[in-house]
Amino acid sequence: MRYSRIVATGHYLPERVLTNDELERMVETSDAWIRARTGIRQRHIAAPTESVAGMGERASRMALETAGLAAEDIDLIVMGTTTPDQVFPNSAVIMQERLGVAGIPAFSLEAACSGFIYALAVADNFIRAGSAGRVLVVGAEKMSSIVDWNDRSTCVLFGDGAGAVILEHTQTPGILDTRLHADGRYKDLLQFPSGIASSKARIAEDALQMKGSEVFRVAVAKLGEEIVETLARHDLDGNAVDWLVPHQANARIISAIARRLDLPMERVVLTVGEHGNTSSASVPLALDLAIRDGRIQRGDLLLLEAFGGGFTWGSALVRY
Ligand code: ACO
């Protein structure tokens, strides 16, 4: 049998940190409101010249260096992003050129905040099918470029960054399971409404729109079902999980999910306070942080999950 396993991870966060105090001077909000409703204290914001492909490249180079590999050792790149630098070439191809590995397949996919989980599932399936041996999986986002900085209900939530994971074929399972879902009936609750082929011609003025409290309710319900079902497929429950590595949208959503699993918050990787919601980048950023600081150890059972616009959602059960 062919399986995939995580060899190494990497991350990149832009230098500029935007604090809640600074946001108080930009919109009618308060540090106390943001912390109480979301758990966010600060977020990183990319410089105007920083690109999604460039942030992805920085995270990928860190993962390659950690693994002791060269970019030439990779045979597929899959990137999750909702904020591509260009419509085409896709951001994974732009990143491939920056990494200097012409010829290997590279594509990005769009699943809002679930982008990394979708990309991980695709990469895992390529490896299981024997179509790839070593895959670079990236989540990279410049959310600051699609939020309305005058809309206090959304601009306080998001941040920029990138995370990368190298997957490699193995005979003993690392990625034990991936599950993906989407339900387009919820498309109006969380969206960036214009696009290249859209009948609307207001692209430059458009921004992310969200019905926050409705998103919150559906996210808790869908993710709660998702993780319980994922574990049940393997005759497991929350007790077996060493680390929950959730999408970092809101600390209250995360603690509701942990409660559903009876998992103490000490076994949850929480980065939303420092990173905000970095969409596709949030899960690989959190994963890399907890591996680097030694919390996640080889052999640990990890449950990764994400929920985003669409709605899209999914999870991955991983033996690290
Ligand atoms: N500062 C101060 N007050 C604010 C702010 C702010 N930044 N934003 C909203 N408010 C006000 C509202 O205007 C409202 O005032 P009112 O009662 O006078 O009308 C009040 O606060 C409560 O607003 P709600 O939206 O009901 O607040 P809620 O407790 O739901 O928190 C939040 C809002 C944080 C957005 C929450 O709903 C949430 O996190 N939702 C989920 C978001 C999410 O998970 N997104 C995931 C995916 S993102 C992606 O895919 C791109």
| Dist. CA 36 → ligand 1 center (Å) | 11
Mean pLDDT of 245-274: 97
Structural domain tally of the chain?
2
Domain of residue 13, CATH code: 3.40.47.10
Q: How far is CA 12 from CA 142, 163, 164, 279, in A?
A: 12, 6, 9, 14
- Give the integer Cα–Cα distance in Å for 207 and 196: 14
In this structure, the answer to whether residues 145 and 210 fall within a common structural domain is no
In this structure, the answer to whether residues 230 and 293 fall within a common structural domain is yes
Query: Which amino acid residue places its CA nearest to atom 41 of ligand 1?
Result: 216
Report the predicted TM-score, pTM, of the whole model to 2 decimal places. Answer: 0.97
In this structure, the answer to whether residues 213 and 301 fall within a common structural domain is yes
* Ligand 1 binding residues, C-beta < 6 A: 29, 33-34, 37-38, 112-113, 152-153, 156, 190, 212-213, 215-216, 219, 249-250, 253, 277, 279, 307-309
pLDDT digits (tens, 9 = 90+) for 169-219: 999 999 999 999 999 999 999 999 888 887 665 556 689 999 999 999 999
Q: Which atom of ligand 1 is nearest to the CA of 308?
A: 50
Question: For the chain, what percent of residues have pLDDT higher than 70?
Answer: 98
pLDDT digits (tens, 9 = 90+) for 26-35: 999 999 999 9
| Dist. CA 287 → ligand 1 center (Å) | 26
Residue 264: domain span: 176-319
